[in-house]
Each structure stands twice: as structure tokens, then as C-alpha cells.
Amino acid sequence: MKKLALAAFAAVLTSAAADVSGSWSGSYFGGPLYLTLKQNGDKLSGTAGPSAEQQMLKFDNGQVDGNHVTFKAGPIQADLQLDGDDLKGEMKLPDDTAPLTLTRVEALARRSPTTPAAPAKPFDLATVKQNQSGGINTITGRGGSIRLTRGQIAMENVALWKALGFAYGIGEDKDYAITGPAWLKTERYDIVAKLPPDTTWEQRLQMFQALLAERFKMSVHHETKDLPVYALVVAREGFKLKEVEMGRGGFSAGRGQIKAEKLGLAAFAQRLSQIVDRPVLDQTGMAGVFDFTMEWAPDDDAIGPSLFTALQQQLGLRLEARRGSVDVLVVDRADRVPIEN
């Protein structure tokens, strides 16, 4: 009887849920992934997104069984095992399954690489061609498509400005973050690069940076500039939007009107940067996505609230003028006509 009791007690200890509360960082073939987890017994809730600032997905359906961790956040389903300060396993997406390793943010700060980073490998196959089809905005540099799979990066009818944004992790709405010749936004290209399916996100970016440097004979450098910025914060009257379920979103901005569907506030801040006269940084600390329409008077002589007043009255948000350090990618030189193949 005593042996049976000891065995049962040992089984309880073995199956006791590990503690995974905290912040976790990693990546998969589609980009970086940052999670903030909160555990209560064997139940798990949290938020997820590409960065600590962009936490767009919320979930409360997670389970922790010993070292086994599962959860579903929006289109992501994760099945992971805790190994020290790492969560290792796979992530299922609607059209693919990818290996995933997440590491506690505190542990990342303690770890240092034991060997220097290896130089970027070339792609298995890469083609770069000019695209003359037109039909894309040549003022903003937006448009075209970027499609990622585990074994390929495919860009069609994209400006070099947009390709650089992908290569260096710069959001498409950050006009201020890439500077160089004006044709960066007007000339269009098709780029297809094939790579091994187990290539990490960080390796993809290094390889793509090297490809652009080689084919466009391009050189770049980073500068940190102290610029006037706006901080997007919650207004004193309180936040007025209700969270909606994650899904395919949309955004349109016209004269005196914004319409958004399933949009996170970090992404909204980036889009506001295109409308006001300086970068907008999300300082709300709020996760989730939202549907909303905002209207304001685009001119001083028009009837209606200003954009700043409309933000407070209609959304419960406010823009605070500040100064902030902004990283800028400077293109020192690049050839308009690339080495194609």
C-alpha cells in the first residue's frame, strides 16, 4: 500500500504543469513571433504578434500538461514542448506547418553567441527582373505582392523600396525609415528566390539583403535620427473601440475619412504616419484588432473636428507630440537596372 501511494504521489509530481508565464520570442518562415503568456494551473492565456509592441492576437484556450504546451491564437495552432528556457515544436497555419522555437526573453538577454555569425548563404536559385506592367502607385512605392512559403520568397511588381523594407524588417507604412534616390519607389521588379525549407527567418533576411546588394550593386548604412514623433496613447476619457475576432483585415484612407477592419493599433499608428507630419509610435499597450470608421475635417475652413479631435471623440485615442530616436536605412548607391540572372 505504501509503495502504491508513493507511486501515485510521484505521478502527480511528474504531470504537474510547468510554469510558462512570461514573454517569449522566436520566428518562423513568415516572420518573427512574440508571445506574452499567463498561466493559471493548467490553463493558458495570452497575446501574440510579430513584436512586443504589436500584440494583435488574444487567446484563452491554451493548455499546459506537464511540459506539453498547446494553444490556438487566430489562425495559429501551436504544439510545443518546454525544454529549459525554450518552447520547441511546430506551428500549424491554414496552408502550412512550420517548426517553431520560442525562447524566454529573459534568457535571450543572458545568452551570447559562442561563434561568430556565419555569412549569408546564397539562395538555391534566384531571379531578378524588371517589371514594366505598370498599374502601381509610383509615388508611395506601395503595391505589388510578396508571397512567402517555406521554400520560396516571391515578389511581383514591387518597388526596390518595398523589397528593402522586407529585407530589413521595415514596415511598408514607414516612409521616413528608408532614404535614397527617388526611383526606389518608381521602378518595379519581379524577384523569386528559392531556399531550403528549414531556413530560419533571420537567415532569410540575411540572404535577401545579400541578394539585393549583389544584383543591384547596392550599399546601405543605418543612421539613428532624433526626430519629432507622435505617441498614440489612450485618451483620458477612455478607449471607445470594441475588440473583434482576428481575420482578414482592410484599411482605406480618403480625404477626411479612415475605414479599418480587423486592424491592430500598432498597424494603425504606422498608417497615421502617412497622414500626419511625423512618425506615429503606438504607446497604447493594447492588444487585439478593431473595426472602426473615423471622419474629420481635412481643411481648416471645413466643418467638422480636426483629425486630433476626431481621434479622441470617436476612438478614444490621442496623439502626444514628443521626440524619439528613429532608425533610418540610407541607400548610398544602387543600380536601377539589376543583374538579372
What single string gives the DSSP state of each residue in 143-182?
Answer: -SEEEEETTEEEEEEEEHHHHHHHHTT--TT-GGGEES-G
Helix/strand number for the chain, H first, E second: 6, 20
Q: Can you tell me the distance from the alpha carbon of 338 to that of 336, in angstroms, rounded to the nearest whole number? A: 6
Boundaries of every domain in the chain? 16-110, 125-216, 226-326
Going by CATH, does the domain composed of 16-110 fall within 2.40.128.120?
Answer: yes
β-strands 57-65, 68-73: how paired? Answer: antiparallel
Q: What is the mean pLDDT of residues 190-215?
A: 93
* Closest C-alpha among 250, 181, 248 to residue 220: 181
Give the whole-number percent of the chain exceeding pLDDT 90: 58
C-beta separation of 160 from 168 below 8 A = no
Q: Residue 8 pLDDT more than 50? A: no
C-beta separation of 215 from 338 below 8 A = yes
Q: What is the model's pLDDT at position 303?
A: 85
Q: Can you tell me the distance from the alpha carbon of 264 to that of 243, in angstroms, rounded to the nearest whole number? A: 9
β-strands 86-93, 250-254: how paired? Answer: unpaired
β-strands 243-244, 68-73: how paired? Answer: unpaired
327 φ/ψ angles, rounded to the nearest 5 degrees: -80, 130
* Closest C-alpha among 231, 238, 244, 240 to residue 56: 244
Q: Residue 104 pLDDT more than 90? A: yes
Q: What is the model's pLDDT at position 30?
A: 87
Provide the grid cell at 323.
521626440
Q: What is the mean pLDDT of residues 197-210?
A: 91
In the block, residue with C-alpha cell 492588444 = 287
Which residues pair with residue 161 across a beta bridge? Answer: none
315, amino acid identity: L
Q: What is the model's pLDDT at position 119?
A: 62
pTM over 0.85: no
Which residues pair with residue 219 across a beta bridge? Answer: 333
pLDDT digits (tens, 9 = 90+) for 276-321: 878 898 999 888 889 999 999 987 677 889 999 999 999 999 999 9
Q: Can you tell me the distance from the alpha carbon of 47 to that of 209, in angstroms, rounded to the nearest whole number? A: 30
Average pLDDT, the chain: 87
Q: What is the mean pLDDT of residues 201-217?
A: 94
